[in-house]
Amino acid sequence: PQPIFRKDYRRPDYTIERVDLRFELGENFTTVHASLAVRRMHDTPAGAPLVLDGENLVLKRVAIDGRELPADHYIVGPTSLTIADPGAAFTLTTVVEIRPQDNLELSGLYRSSGNFCTQCEAEGFRRITYFLDRPDVMARYSVVVEADRARYPVLLANGNRVETGELDGGRHFARWDDPFPKPCYLFALVAGDLRCHDGEFVTRSDRTVRLEIWVEPDNIDRCAHALRSLQAAMRWDEDTFGREYDLDIYMIVAVSDFNMGAMENKGLNIFNAKYVLARPDTATDDDYDGIESVIAHEYFHNWTGNRVTCRDWFQLTLKEGLTVFRDRLFSADMGSPAVARIGDVLGLRTNQFAEDSGPMAHPIRPESYIEMNNFYTTTVYEKGAEVIGMMRTLLGAAGFRRGMDLYFERHDGQAVTCDDFRAALADANGVDLEQFGRWYSQVGTPVVRARGDYDAAARAYTLTLEQAPPRGRDGAELLHIPVAVGLLGPDGPLALKLSEETAASGDTRVLELRERSQSFRFADVPAAPVASLLRGFSAPVELAVERSDADLARLMAADPDEFSRWDAGQELARRVLLRLAGDVEAGRELALDREFVAACARILGDERLDGSLKALALTLPNERLLGQQQQVVAVDALHAARQFAVQALARALREPLLAVYRATAPTGPYRIERAEVDRRKLRNLALGYLVALGEPDQVRLAVEQFELSDNMTDSEAALAFLIDHGGPERDSALARFHARWHKDPLVLDKWFALQAVSTHPDTLDRVLALADHPDFNLLNPNRARSLLGAFGLRNQHQFHREDGRGHALVADKVLALDPHNPQVAARLVAAFNPWRRFDAARQQSMRAQLERIAAQPGLSKSVREIVDRALA
């Protein structure tokens, strides 16, 4: 397959203004009637052919303005329908047959739990009917859905339901009209036996919007949190960005087979059930948060994505980076901003930094792709959100809002580019974002070096910041980087005064680094300060600065920026763990740094910190993050070092940890509220350390918690620790959990995932056995991810076993899945991307698996693209 390049963008020759669809849904096949009002673009030469996209369609009829098209007027190719010289404006009618029941790719129209549903982004609509399947073709849709009434009592599509009725043979229909022009990737249809949890929202201009959450009948008692989240998101977007919802109805449907998290189809979101369903006994605190943020994300797309959409798929971050940024602002407002930010940054560093330094590295606005679905990446989403966040930091909250307002004013109803967005921000504020624009085209994580000089006589502190290109990418152009800085004096944070300023104010300054190297001079600094750099993680860069462990300990204790306190602690922990890994490799005796233990003890006892922040601060950096800091990832030594540190910390802090565990016992039934979440986070952190001691008394605490808790947060945590511990307690807990939950897919996914991420040395054998478990189903994306995704992408130590058995297992499953669901297989095969980062034996093992996959005849273009890039 040939790549498609951003530079080759051309507007379409024809556009489609109106779409009338009729779906006759059936058990053996589905017939799709389409009437498209097509118009030739004014500068398209007369006679230019109309080339429509289509995939896996059986064409039954094609007519123009009601007249059958003679066979020599069109050509049906494997992925297209070409019509010679169709005219300047006409109605094209096609009738095609499709087989949703055989659609295991879960792209286009498919079946899940017996119901019909769709997924069209990025290029699934062409698997439903012949169309100009590209986001810059925006049309008004009218859709009739016909189906058997008994099996499919509920018939949904985008927009407003304008007509329903009975048909012969026990069938019925519904007609839906969507008044807003949209690209076809936002088309959606659902038919099935579903129940509705409903509510409403009154907009600020006093319109009542009906809210409907549709689920399979058994799940009707798990929708309340999703509805509340939706209402909160609607209110927040009005308050924060002045954006009001535009239709009279907003629907969300939860399905069990879904390739990703959710989809923002106009007025009819379709969701992975994982991001809708929650009940205290089935969903954890983190699940509740995940639901809140994904519901909000899809809702926010109504303005950033749907009303204003992307001109072409290279612009994906226009809607995704921006919408992730918006859902993060929302989550920060709903809960703890510091906790939210720490979570974002952990994810960015663990996943995005790794992607950006490996074979799949690409700019947030890619230059080329073979399979677009491979570019729904952490770079486009999360780094894209960081880029938006930097512009907000540079413009300030009010300036950013002005820019957003102008963006909507200029582009409502259009399909636009990232440059259009940046221009709106710049124009609304009269600033120049030209240099900043390079963030859209550069690859890799830039490095910012910092050096401080204190001049006691002048009472001045000079901070020199320097930017260096990402590792291995010399020649990269200079970026515009906001670096938020504070200074810590002996008695705490200093009020800052840059030498050009007249008076000191505030304790944070955003310095704008635009040159290779720039110096910033702070005046009236009474004593040598410790600099707190990149507060709030003000730019997605790697910070290189020489700091003593003592400086870090001081930042950890006294930085007023909660994110930076956490970050300083993590850096200290990283150093301690990397030194320990060195000791492991050199065969030296291991001992945990006393200063580090003391710092951890202080955090545990710090009254100013809430439980969630304590838990985050006391969680040691994961093995993947640690590996990124090494030339060659020392898989076993890192694992041994981290395991040792956990146990040593638990030994040193046994009594305070026990005290914390006792003091945080629940005092009533589960409640999903901030203080309670904090309490559970801290309690489970303490339990994890205690169980790691391996002592019967502590293991018993976990067994009791597992057996007595009334909620999934506490039982899942206890189960995870028991799995790592092993032994009979593990087996009996797993058996009980399975017996209780095996009919509940989302909970059973946890049962698989916990075993796949375990640190226990027998994990690989257990994962192998689980892959043959009767409840395992490779074709269900959630289940495949829960076992294989968790193992291959999150369990560094077991996946990268030296004997290569972990690699072989994942490669086998990639090959087994690829013929059915290439999108999910492509996500899984990415586990091999970092292969060059490992030692010779592991490199050879991974490379051999990549080559085996590459040699597979008929490999999908999705997996082929990833594997070819990895081997290149």
For 431, which DSSP code?
A: -
Of 146, 178, 264, 562, the one binding ligand B3K by CB under 6 A:
264
320 touches ligand B3K (CB under 6 A): yes
If one asks whether residue 496 binds ligand B3K (CB under 6 A), the answer comes out as: no
- Name the residue nearer to Zn ion (CB basis): 321 or 446: 321
Check residue 415 for interaction with ligand B3K (CB under 6 A). no
User: Count of CB atoms within 10 A of residue 499's CB?
Assistant: 13
Q: DSSP characters for 452-500?
A: EEEETTTTEEEEEEEEEPPTT-TTPPPP-EEEEEEEEETTEEPPB-BTT
Closer by beta carbon to ligand B3K, 124 or else 486: 124
Question: Binding of ligand B3K at residue 271 (CB under 6 A)?
Answer: no
Query: Cis omega (within 30 of 0) on the bond before 122?
Result: yes
Binding of residue 121 to ligand B3K (CB under 6 A): yes
Contact at 8 Å (CB) between 678 and 610? Answer: yes
Least separation in angstroms between CB 261 and Zn ion = 8
- With vertex at residue 489, the alpha carbon angle to CA 486 and CA 490, rounded to the nearest 5 degrees, is 150
Distance CA 648, CA 661 (A): 18
Active-site choice (298, 382, 571, 623)? 298
Number of residues that bind Zn ion (CB under 5 A): 2
How far apart are CB 283 and ligand B3K at their closest, in Å?
Answer: 20
Please give the Cα distance from 595 to 649 (Å, whole number).
12
State yes or no: residue 863 binds ligand B3K (CB under 6 A): no
Nearer to ligand B3K, 123 or 593 (CB): 123
- Token pair of 44 as six digits: 């398209």
Other CB atoms within 10 Å distance of the CB of residue 368? 14
Active site residue 97: no
* Minimum distance, C-beta of residue 320 to Zn ion, in the bound complex (Å): 5
Exactly one of 111, 171, 297, 797 binds ligand B3K (CB under 6 A); which one? 297
In the list ligand B3K, Zn ion, none, the entry touching 577 (Cβ below 5 to 8 angstroms by class) is none
Nearer to ligand B3K, 135 or 611 (CB): 135
Give the nearer residue to ligand B3K in terms of CB position, either 124 or 470. Answer: 124
Whose tokens are 């996914």? That residue is 749
Binding to Zn ion (CB under 5 A) within 399-418 occurs at none
CA separation (Å) from 193 to 40, 101, 832? 42, 16, 41
Report, in Å, the least distance between residue 377 CB and ligand B3K. Answer: 10
Q: Minimum Å distance from CB 118 to ligand B3K? A: 12
Residue 695 structure tokens: 């002592």
- The residue within the footprint of ligand B3K, chosen from 96, 122, 253, 613 (CB under 6 A), is 122
Task: Indicate which single residue of 298, 356, 593, 676 sits in contact with ligand B3K (rule: CB under 6 A).
Answer: 298
**Nearest approach, Cβ of residue 310 and ligand B3K (Å):** 10
Alpha-carbon distance of 312 to 134, in angstroms, equals 7
Instruction: Please report how close the Cβ of residue 381 comes to ligand B3K at its closest, in angstroms.
Output: 7
Which residue from 254, 263, 660, 859 is in contact with ligand B3K, where contact means CB under 6 A? 263
Q: At what angle do helices 337-347 and 562-586 cross, to 10 degrees?
A: 40
Q: What are phi and psi of 257, to 5 degrees?
A: -115, 105
> Does residue 276 bind ligand B3K (CB under 6 A)?
no
What is the closest distance, in whole angstroms, from the C-beta atom of residue 382 to Zn ion in the complex? 11
How does DSSP assign 826-871, residue by residue? HHHHGGGGGGGGS-HHHHHHHHHHHHHHHT-TT--HHHHHHHHHHH
Q: Which does 729 bind (CB under 5 to 8 A by kind): ligand B3K, Zn ion, none?
A: none
HSE-CB of 581 using CA atoms within 13 angstroms: 20
**Contact stretch for ligand B3K (CB under 6 A) within 57-65, 294-302, 413-421, 556-564:** 294-302
Closest CA to 637 of 576, 581, 591, 573: 581
Site string for ligand B3K, 222-261 (x = CB under 6 A): --------------------------------------x-
What secondary structure does DSSP assign to 121-183, as a single string?
TTTTGGGTS-B--STT-EEEEEEEEEEETTT--EEEESSEEEEEEEETTTEEEEEEEEEEEEE
User: What would the 3-class secondary structure string for 581-632 be?
Assistant: HHHHHHCCCCCCCHHHHHHHHHHHHCCCCCHHHHHHHCCCCCHHHHHHCCCC
Instruction: List the interface residues with Zn ion, window 291-350 (CB under 5 A).
Output: 320, 323
- Residue (250 or 520) nearer to Zn ion, CB: 250
Whichever of 158 and 628 has its CB closer to ligand B3K, that residue is 158
Applying CB under 6 A, does 376 fall inside the site for ligand B3K? Answer: yes
Q: Any contact of residue 262 with ligand B3K (CB under 6 A)?
A: yes
Residue with tokens 């990549």: 850
User: By the 8 A CB rule, do 185 and 135 touch?
Assistant: yes
DSSP conformational letter for 529:
P
Closest approach, Cβ 862 to ligand B3K, in A, equals 10
Residues that bind ligand B3K in the complex, under the rule CB under 6 A = 121-122, 260, 262-264, 297-298, 301, 320, 373, 376
Residues that bind Zn ion in the complex, under the rule CB under 5 A = 320, 323
Catalytic residues: 298
